[in-house]
Amino acid sequence: MSRRTALWQLGLAGLSLAAAPAFAEDMIKLPLPSDPRERPLTHDFPQKGTMILQRTRPPLLETPFDVFDRGVFTPNDQFFVRWHWAVIPTSVEINTFKLTVRGHVNQALSLSIDDLLKLPQVELAAVNQCSGNSRGFYEPRVPGAQWANGAMGNALWTGVRLKDVLDRAGVKAGAVQVRLNGLDDPVVPDGPDFKKSLDIEHARDGEVMIAYAMNREQLPLLNGFPLRLIVPGWYSTYWVKMLSDIEVLDKADDNFWMAVAYTIPDTPHASVTPGQTGVKLVPINKMVPRSFFTNVADGTTLPVGSAPLRGIAFGGDSGVAKVELSIDSGKSWQATALGKDHGKYSFRQWQANVLLGAKGSHSFMVRCTNQAGDVQPGTPNWNGSGFMRNVIETVQVTAS
């Protein structure tokens, strides 16, 4: 789209949240291993349709899983929401909004949305997934939001390269990292402001971008309006919402959200045994491959005979190479047919027809292998934060 068309279509004139959402009365039962399994369904958050309410303040909204069966791109009004601090601006005036670029640069910048729209426009399909997606399945249970599998979504993001913005400011020699900050604030004076950093080479790789549109529509406020950082292939903790400040650093960032929070064991699959100590921790980073069924779930009943199965997969920081299916508890595996490739960071749909020749219970399993050769593991990882779950998904169905 042209710059003029972008301004008109996206309606970049300002956005505000209405009154606080009402408490939901409808409930959904999540397939978690322990209680409480029930969550409210809410319909009352601005710009959002039906969502699973995990928390109201700050808002944590999970995408109902049936949404993922409707297409490869997650609709904006049912795209998951996760904030760290509850002090979120309820309105943003786009005519006065500025994005600051400062620090170890030749020239500090204060950029308007119009300034950004004059830069080369790029589009990228990419999965945004919470580090703790599926945390509710961890055994033993760990603290934190007890997400099922819906703390993720896939969108077509439109914006500008972070590299182009940094090049306009002029990165000085000796730059080490780029720190990103948004408009949200801590709820207490001494609370650590939410900031995330990327190594300078990563920030300038030409893929990391600043988005002003999502699925070719204006970003919802709860998903980061007016600007959101997009870090394809990495967990969403780096995808800073309401991006307002870019600081180039000449030393490694040691702020709380990099040095303490969102760290993982430096072990295979980020896995340790409960109670294990003395393990080196590193900042969470690249996503790992995952795949899911979208048209069957635990408890589904299917007729004996041919049955269509379908789902979604993504390769993490690499494209999907193949998705395989088992209907005999993993004894044998068969290839599935892959849908259109929207890019290496996107969801990819898969489908297969299977023959259920006998009545009774069947264990269906699906696994993804990415183009780097990484395959989903057969046993779940465990760490105290409930991060990076990507075990092979299994559903129990009944043939009748």
β-pair type (217-218, 81-82): unpaired
Output the pLDDT for position 3: 39
β-pair type (243-249, 99-103): parallel
Output the pLDDT for position 137: 98
Q: How does residue 216 score in pLDDT terms, banded at 50, 70 and 90? A: very high
Can you name the residues that pair with 125 across neighbouring β-strands? 156
Output the pLDDT for position 16: 54
Residue 8 has pLDDT above 70, yes or no: no
Give residue-wise pLDDT tens across range 136-152.
Answer: 999 999 999 999 999 99
Output the pLDDT for position 22: 52
Residue 1 has pLDDT above 50, yes or no: no
Taking the C-alpha atoms of residue 231 and residue 237, their distance in angstroms, rounded to an integer, is 9
Q: Average pLDDT of the chain?
A: 94
Taking the C-alpha atoms of residue 240 and residue 180, their distance in angstroms, rounded to an integer, is 7
Give residue-wise pLDDT tens across range 332-386.
Answer: 999 999 999 999 999 999 999 999 988 999 999 999 999 999 999 999 999 999 9
Q: In what order do the strands lie in the sheet with 393-399?
A: 301-302, 393-399, 360-370, 320-326, 334-335
* Helix segments in 204-262, DSSP class H: 256-259
Quick check: bond before 58 cis, omega within 30?
Answer: yes
DSSP 172: P
Give residue-wise pLDDT tens across range 268-323.
Answer: 999 999 999 999 999 999 999 999 999 999 999 999 999 999 999 999 999 999 99
Give residue-wise pLDDT tens across range 44-87.
Answer: 999 999 999 999 999 999 999 999 999 999 999 999 999 999 99
Question: Three-state SS string across 33-47, please?
Answer: CCCCCEEEEECCCCC
Output the pLDDT for position 5: 38
